[in-house]
Structure 1
Amino acid sequence: MDDGPSVRSRAISNALRLGVRPFLHYLPGHTAGIRTARSTVDAASLLLRHSSHVRVESVDEPPRSDGDRPVKGEWIVPRDLPEGPARGAILYLHGGGYVVCSPRTHRPITSRLALDTGLPVLALRYRLAPEHPFPAPLEDALAAYRWLLARGVPASGIVLAGDSAGGHLSAALAGELCRLGLPGPAGLVLFSPWVDLTCELSIQAQERARDPYISASSARRVARLVVGPAGFDDPRLALLSCAWTDMPPVLIQVGGAEVLRNEAKAFADALKRAGADCELQIWKGQMHVFQILNRVLPEAGDAMRDAARFVRTVTGTGAPEDRTAAA
C-alpha cells in the first residue's frame, strides 16, 4: 500500500477524471436527473458478467411478521459450496450515494467475495432515495440481517460489508443492532465509506484530493435527497458522533487519491477511541471503490484478497481453494 499506483491504475484514473467526473459533478440534485442516472448505470451493468464459479439466485422474501420489511436482492453462492445451512455469510450493501446502483452493478465485488471467502453473499436491493429517504435503507438492511439469522446463519458468522453509501449503511446497521439488543456481526468490511453525509470533511478535502470522479459538491446535493425533509437530525446518520461500544473488528479500505479519505481516517480514529479493533488501509493513488475493478487492477485484486482474509479470520472459516485466477 506504500507503493505508487500501477500504470494501469493511473491510466484508468485519468480516463475517469476526464470523462466521468465532469458528468457526475453536474448531476442534477433532483428526481428526474437521478432517474436518468439510474437508467444509465443499470444499462451499463448488463455488460458485467459474474464468475462462472458462482451461482446467482434471486431473493424475494415477503415480510416475516407485521411491521417487518420484505427482503429482496441476490444470493451469490460459490458453486462448490456444500449443501446445508451456511456456517457464515456476508451481507453486502452496495454503494451509489443511496440513489443509484443495485446488486447487479456490484457483482464484480460480491462474486469475488464469495469466491475468495467460500461464503455466500446476500447482496441486498434496498430502497433508494429520493423516493425512499433515510431511514428506509436502514430498515431494509435490518430486515435482511434478521432474515439471515432466521435461516440459521449465526451472528458470529455474519460480516457486514459495503462500499461508499453502502459502507455508511453497514456501519449504521451495526449501530442499530447494538441499540436494539440484537446479536452483533463478526465484523465489518468498508470500502471507501461515505462517513459524513453533511459532506463537511469532503468539501474541506476537495482542493487537495485528486479524486478521479467523486465530487464533494455533487455528493452534498445528493445527500439532501437522501435525508429528505427530516434533514440531518437523525442520530443514526452521524457515524462520527456515535458511541460505538462493543463493536466487532472493522476493516476500512480507502483510496489515497479520493475525496473521502479524510472521512475514513476520522471514522477509524473514532472507532479506535471507543476501543474497537479497526484496521485502516490507505491504498496510495487509488480511486473511490477501486475494488470493483478487481479483474483489471492489480491493486484491487490485492485489496479483495486482504478483505477475504479479514472475513475468514473474524468468522473462523477456513480458506477456500484458490479460484481467483479462474474468476
Structure 2
Amino acid sequence: MSTSFTELRFAKPSLRMRLGEWIISKKPSEFGDAEKVRTEVPNRKLPQDAPMPENFHRKFTVEDWEAEGQKVVTVHPKAGKGEWHIIYFHGGGYFMPMFKEHWPLIEAMVYATGASVSVPLYDVIPEASYHRANAQADAVYEKIAAEWGDDKMALCGDSAGGNMTLALALQRRDAGKSLPARLIPFSPWLDMDMKDPAAKDVQEKDIMLNIEAIRVLGEWWAGDRGVDNPVASPLYCDPAGLPPIAIFQGRHDVFLPDARSFAAKANAAGVPTKLYEYDGGPHVYMALTFTRESKDTLRLVKQFLDNG
C-alpha cells in the first residue's frame, strides 16, 4: 500500500528481523487462544510487572513515584533531564502487566531520543477497569505537564498502550484540557472488535495475535462503553484537533489494516499523520531492539520529536 502519508521503510525485512520473528514464534503467545483467554484470565492470580533491570540505576537517573495509586517509573538520561518527556504506555492486551521485553525498548528509546521516559505501571483486567486506568493515565499526564509543559510532551505506547496513547489524547481534547505535542502509537490496537475483514488476510502471518482472543479482551476492556465507543476504539473517533501523529506498524500484524484506516482518517481530518510500515515486522517489532527496523523506528521518533 502506498499513499502520501504511508511509507514502507525497507524493501524487505532484515535477517535479524526474520530471526527475531522466528524466536517469537517458538514461544507460547498469551494472545493466541480465545478459549484460553476466556476461561483462564478471570480466575488467574494477578501477574506482576517485570522488574526494571538493576543496571538502569547505573545507566540512567531513575525516579519512582505514584499517581492515583499507580506506580510510575521515570527514566532520565544520565546527563540530566531530557528536552522532551515521553509517557510510555506498555502493551499487553490490557490484561498483562509490563513484560521484561519492554525494558530494553525503554532503554533504547532514552538513548536514541535523549528524552526522559515515564512508564505508568497501570492496573489490568479483570482486576481493573477502563474507568480506573483512564483516571490513572490522566493523573500521570497532569503531574508531568505541570513540570514540563505540554509543548515538550509526547504520548507513546505499544499495542494496548498505543490504544491508551490515543484514548488519553481524545479524552483530554473532549474535556477541553491541554494536549501533548506529539502522539506516537506503536502497533496500536485501534478497534476492540477487530471488524475489518482485511485483518483475516494478515492472520496467517501474525505469530502473536489471534483475532478472536483480541475480541474477548476488547469486550472486557470496553465494558459498559461498548466496543464501538471512540475512546475504547479510536478507529471510530473524530480525530480533528489531535496533535501530529506518527504510527509505526509491522506488516505481519493483524492490526495493520486498522492502522492504515486510522492514518487515512486522521489525515482527512487535518491531523498531520504519518504511517511507517515495516515489511516482515511482527506485532510490536520495535521491541526487537537488535534489529535494523527497531533502530530505524527510534531514529524516526527522534526526528518526529525534533521536527514534527
How does the TM-score come out when normalised to structure 2? 0.87
Root-mean-square deviation over aligned CA pairs: 2.6
Aligned 8 A contact 2:61 2:80 in 1: no
Paired letter, 1:136 = R
Aligned 8 A contact 1:206 1:215 in 2: no
How far has the Cα of 1:264 moved from its partner?
0.6
From 135, 143, 146, give the equivalent of 2:142: 146
How far has the Cα of 1:158 moved from its partner?
0.4
Aligned 8 A contact 1:103 1:123 in 2: no
How does the TM-score come out when normalised to structure 1? 0.82
How far has the Cα of 1:49 moved from its partner?
6.1
Aligned 8 A contact 1:71 1:143 in 2: no
Alignment partners' CA distance in 2, 1:48 and 1:200 = 42
* Larger mean Cα displacement after TM superposition, 127-136 or 230-239: 230-239
**Structure 2 counterpart SS, 1:12:** helix
Match of 2:6 in 1: none
- Paired residues, what number? 298
Alignment partners' CA distance in 1, 2:152 and 2:75 = 16
**Structure 1 counterpart SS, 2:252:** coil
Paired letter, 1:218 = A
Match of 2:118 in 1: 122
Point out 4+ residue stretches in structure 1 off by more than 4 angstroms: 34-38, 45-52
Question: CA offsets per residue over residues 233-281 of structure 1, 9 Å max, x none?
Answer: 5442131222222221110000011111101101101100110100100
Q: Does 1:162 align with 2:161?
A: no
Q: Does 1:54 align with 2:60?
A: yes
Match of 2:73 in 1: 74
How far has the Cα of 1:114 moved from its partner?
1.8
Aligned 8 A contact 1:160 1:188 in 2: yes
Flag structure 1 segments of 5+ consecutive residues without an equivalent.
Answer: 62-68, 315-327
Match of 2:22 in 1: 14
Alignment partners' CA distance in 2, 1:265 and 1:169 = 18
From 284, 305, 308, give the equivalent of 1:289: 284
Using the aligned pairs only, state the percent identity.
26
Aligned 8 A contact 1:291 1:303 in 2: yes
Paired letter, 1:153 = W
How far has the Cα of 1:287 moved from its partner?
0.7
From 234, 239, 244, give the equivalent of 1:244: 239
Q: 1:38 to 1:13 in 2, by over 3 A?
A: farther
Q: 1:186 to 1:266 in 2, by over 3 A?
A: same
Flag structure 2 segments of 5+ consecutive residues without an equivalent.
Answer: 1-8
Paired letter, 1:107 = W
